[in-house]
Structure 1
Amino acid sequence: MLFARQFRPAAQSAVRQLASSLRPAYLTVAYYAMLILFGLVCLAVSLPATLLGLLMPTDRSGPYGRRMIQAAFRVFLAAARASGVLRCNDRSLDVLRWDRPLIIAPNHPSILDAVFVLARLPEAVCLMKAPIWDNVFLGGGARFAGYIRNDAPLPMVRSAARALKSGQQLLIFPEGTRTRSGPVEPFTGGFALIAKATGVAVQTLIIESNIPTGGWRTSLLKPPPLPLTYRLRLGRRFEQPCPPHALVRDVEAYVRREIART
């Protein structure tokens, strides 16, 4: 009995040390499993949405497509959290759910930024690059959900204005691409043109993560720091009308200050 009492703490310590030494390897394996899961949930939306899109006009399919995407992304995020690969406070976005119309303008440090927003806000219409629109994993769902291509400025503004006037939200990344260097990339003017044309407020969203700038652009053989850790917080809302160039300048300066102070 005495031997057992003396042996138990040593055994528990050995188990903790073993678990600690194995955790990095486990997180790496789980990370690649989550990448595969992400592809699968995207295909689970994109393929049926492509077929349904042949039967249903875009002006009617949007709500169904957005909820399909929301459900798929929620499944992915729940699995990523449960695996220990992801830590994120995306529930902070729920306060915006009924705040419509609204232009949501986050910074863009990683490929998961849109996933967080679209998983929490089912009435958000995303402004997307043309290559994503035509991607087999994402394109079918994007078209079915009524998302908007950003390759033609005038049709883009008109489509965004229609979505906002119908009471939806618009998710647009002012950087136009993921951040490659510095706190943010220079902002483009699309969000400001849409705000000017519609009179809709711009809600900034600050996304912070433990991923080094440009970290997602490295080889897939070198995963980012694990677990992936994100902090999302609502920033200032720009409601006063002003010329588009001034709005771009003011929003970019504000986001840079907010990121620099963290």
Structure 2
Amino acid sequence: MRRVSGLPYDAFCLVNRLWRWGVTGLFFALFGIGGLLLSIIWFNLLRLVIRQPETLHRMTLNSIRNSFRFFLGGLRLFGVMDFCFVGDEKFKQDAGCLVVANHPSLLDYVILASRMPRCDCIVKQALLQNPFLRGVIKAAGYLVNAGSETLLLACEARLQAGGTLLIFPEGTRSLPGQEMTLQRGAANIAVRAGCDVRIVHISCQPPMLTKQGKWYQIPRVKPQFIITVADKVNVIDFMDDHDLSPALAARRLTQHLRTELMRSNIQNNEK
């Protein structure tokens, strides 16, 4: 009989899964508590010490990024999941760039924001009612999805000011095994702002924290995230001299992004 650490293999797998279940619940609780402590204590301390708005905003984003790194490091240390970045040094070139990624897991934003030097994000308006996240969203200056035209203007201004905007163009987490559907919002923003688009592929095997899965539905083995930062797409390539229609350019760009992002889903299904 195969044995691991003195236990039968099946028993070891069960113990390991129970351990990951308990630690996952603990870290979910710590994530909410951490957001509350950042909002109530740390961000207010920063406001008292730092008077320059630009410096304050940069320190706030750095605090969030480092908190995410600490959170992910804890998940890795305690064996809940593991992750690997390929080409993440490219993020240093992405000032004024739109970053788009597929969205297989609830952790995708946390993972990407932990490595991006700056990460501006669009959040649902309902999250402003969340007492654990509301303060973080306001302190970071994240854009709130409150209206299409207002949001487009805000995104354009943020990109032109040198921000890096992260969007999951599916609009929600992917459903494993189902065809990917992209909303046209990301392409509309890119066309309107005339900015480059950075494509990021996220693979998670086995699936973890999917749209249909609950936090307590722990995979049998430890999930592995692989985040591959691909090349940029030049939005000008989708607008020619004969047809400058923003709507058509956005449609072309959306089709291209879907083709590129679908490669991640195909690779996931083949593994």
CA distance in 1, matches of 2:262, 2:175: 14
Partner of 1:27: 20
Q: Does residue 1:194 correspond to 2:189, yes or no?
A: yes
Q: How does 1:13-162 map to 2 (within 5 A)?
A: 15-17=5-7, 20=12, 22-48=15-41, 60=54, 61-90=56-85, 92-162=87-157
**1:175 to partner: Cα distance:** 0.7
- Deviation readout 1:137-181 (Å, 9 max, x if unpaired): 222111111111123111211111121111121101101111135
Match of 1:253 in 2: 259
State the number of aligned residues. 250
Check whether the contact 1:74–1:119 (CA below 8 A) recurs between aligned residues. Answer: yes
Asked whether the equivalents of residues 209 and 229 of structure 1 are also in contact (C-alpha less than 8 Å), the reply is: yes
Contact kept in structure 2, 1:90 and 1:117, CA below 8 Å: no
User: Residue 134 of structure 1: CA displacement?
Assistant: 3.3
Within 1, Cα distance between the matches of 2:43 and 2:149? 26
SS of the aligned residue for 2:99 comes to strand
TM-score normalised to the size of structure 2?
Answer: 0.80
- Aligned equivalents of 1:57, 1:202: Cα separation in 2: 33
Of 162, 177, 182, 1:167 maps to 162
| Residue range with higher mean Cα deviation, 184-193 or 154-163 | 184-193
CA shift for structure 1 position 125: 0.4
- CA 1:143 to 1:90, structure 2 compared with 1: closer, same or farther past 3 Å? farther
Amino acid at match of 1:86: M
Q: In 2 relative to 1, CA 53–177 (structure 1 residues): closer, same or farther, beyond 3 Å?
A: farther
Percent identity over the alignment is 24
The range that moved more, 202-211 or 102-111, is 202-211
1:54-109 CA-partner distances (Å, limit 9, x unpaired): 98999645323211211211110111111011200147423312432211000111
**Stretch moving more, 217-226 or 236-245:** 217-226
Q: Which has the larger radius of gyration?
A: 1
Alignment CA distance shift 1:188-1:58 (3 Å): farther
Show CA shifts across 1:10-31 (max 9, x none). xxx7843268353232222222
User: Can you give the 5+ residue segments of structure 2 that lack an aligned partner in the other structure?
Assistant: 239-248
Residue identity matched to 1:83:
F
Shift in Å, 1:126 = 0.7
Cα distance in 2 for partners of 1:214, 1:184 equals: 19
Q: Which runs of 5+ in 1 are unaligned?
A: 1-12
- Give the distance between the partners of 1:162 and 1:107, measured in 2 at CA: 24
Partner AA of 1:28 in structure 2? W
37 and 239 in structure 1: CA distance in 2 versus 1, 3 angstrom threshold: same
TM-score with structure 1 setting the length: 0.83
- CA 1:184 to 1:66, structure 2 compared with 1: closer, same or farther past 3 Å? farther
